[in-house]
Amino acid sequence: MEFDLQQSEIEIGMTDDSVEQMLILAERLREANGGELDESAILAVAEATGAPLEYVRLAVQIRSEKQKKSFLANIRSQYLTLEQHTRRYVLSGAAAGSAALLLTADEWNAVHTRYSQGANYGIFTMLATLCGLFGLYNVFKARDLRTAGISGGLLMGGLYLMHAVFEFLLGVPSRVDSGWFLPMIVLGAAGGVGVHQLGNKYRVKLGLKDPLKERQDLLKQLNRLQDKLSSGLQFMTFLSIDIVGSTRMKEVADPLAVEYTFTEYHEFVTRIVQKYGGRLHSTAGDGMICAFDHPQHAFSAAKNIQASLIELNMLRNRIGVPIVLRCGIHSGQVMAPEGGDVKSVNFSHVIDVAAHLQKEAPAGGIAVSDSAASQIIGGPAAIGQQRVEAVDVKAVVWMPKSAPSAPPMNMGLPSTLPEQA
């Protein structure tokens, strides 16, 4: 099932962010409607997000399967992903089967208590009547005459057929004439059409919503939810920075020297990033993620960091091995839910792409995605000619005019650093 969803994402061109937004809308709408996500709600989500209807059903179904629920809750989730007309047919069959079983149970009770109790209270018949009324209500809820007719036929025909089956299984004398099976189906279909027409005629008097108006109300509700969810949506550029071969550097260096040098490195990067209007988003080990409002600022900061690195290595590097960096830049829309605070941006596809591009960049270089490079002065041609690709995102590589030179190695370290940390 997960493979089908991923394949569907590729075919319809939806991004992880748009998929997540669609699922969030579905969950919010489910909560607003008392935990239900019926056909009208699924259709409204599809129209509001532009996703195919079947894809919304599949996504909601998988989302429900991933959440640990009770057996009945899982059945309900599966039911809610069915087509509207299929739901009516399933409910008609369930109502018919339940009513037939209860009627047969009452007959069985009457046979086995006739001599010992001398009375039959008919409690099962009362319950069977309630099931029948539920079946009629289900027919009334059908959206068109065809669905109402088939649902009515399933209700009456299913009741007649299952009654005979349960009488046989429980050993109760049969009261069902098989010759009436087809006429009961026809009668049920005609009754279903009649119930549906009466329902449409007196829908307002019964205090029930018109399906079209209900759908419009759901769309309005979805638009309000989208406005709230989009309040933190903004276009940002992320710069991912990491040190080449940092693991090897730490293995052979003095711990105090490592702590001092890497602290100086973090302050060095933060200072330059702030100089170009950027903000530190997060750190993970030696890697740093920085956020900028425009790709030009991110690219200028990255070039400054690479160019000024020689000063850091000469004056504040106590490890004895030069620090060499890789950088990746990518731009796109992100969701900052906490008042636009960049640090509240999590699980963003834009950040992931920037990090992947950084890993593909050569030592001392900057990989700039095409979406970011197109907004930089001069475009991709002004950045460089070398190309890399990561997670299906193409990028152009900037390299300094002269490769960064390494000072003499100390402490018996190898003359070249490994490419991977």
75-86, pLDDT tens digit by residue?
666 666 677 778
pLDDT, mean of residues 243-247: 89
Least trusted range by pLDDT, from 30-44, 158-172, 392-406 = 30-44
Q: Which of 35-49, 135-149, 172-186, 318-332 has the highest mean pLDDT?
A: 318-332
Distance CA 3, CA 19 (A): 15
Q: What is the pLDDT of residue 248?
A: 84
**Which domains, from first to last, does the chain contain?**
2-80 (no CATH), 84-208 (no CATH), 233-398 (3.30.70.1230)
Q: What is the pLDDT of residue 1?
A: 40
In this structure, the number of other CB atoms found within 10 A of the CB of residue 409 comes to 14
Asked if 368 contacts 376 with a C-beta cutoff of 8 angstroms, the reply is yes
pLDDT band at 125 (very low <50, low <70, confident <90, very high): confident
Higher pLDDT, 144 or 224: 144
Q: What is the DSSP letter of 52?
A: -
Tokens 């989009």 belong to which residue? 230
Q: What is the pLDDT of residue 261?
A: 93
CA 92 to chain centre: 32
Whole-structure pTM over 0.75, yes or no?
A: no
Tokens 């399967």 belong to which residue? 65
As to burial, measured by CB atoms within 10 angstroms (0-12 exposed, 13-18 middle, 19+ buried), residue 348 is: buried
Q: Residue 242: beta bridge partners?
A: 326
Q: What is the pLDDT of residues 11-32, one digit of tens each?
A: 444 444 555 566 666 666 666 6
pLDDT, mean of residues 358-383: 94
pLDDT, mean of residues 264-271: 94
Residue type, 336: A
pLDDT, mean of residues 122-144: 84
Asked if 400 contacts 337 with a C-beta cutoff of 8 angstroms, the reply is no
pLDDT, mean of residues 245-261: 87
On the CB side of 72, CA atoms within 13 Å amount to: 0
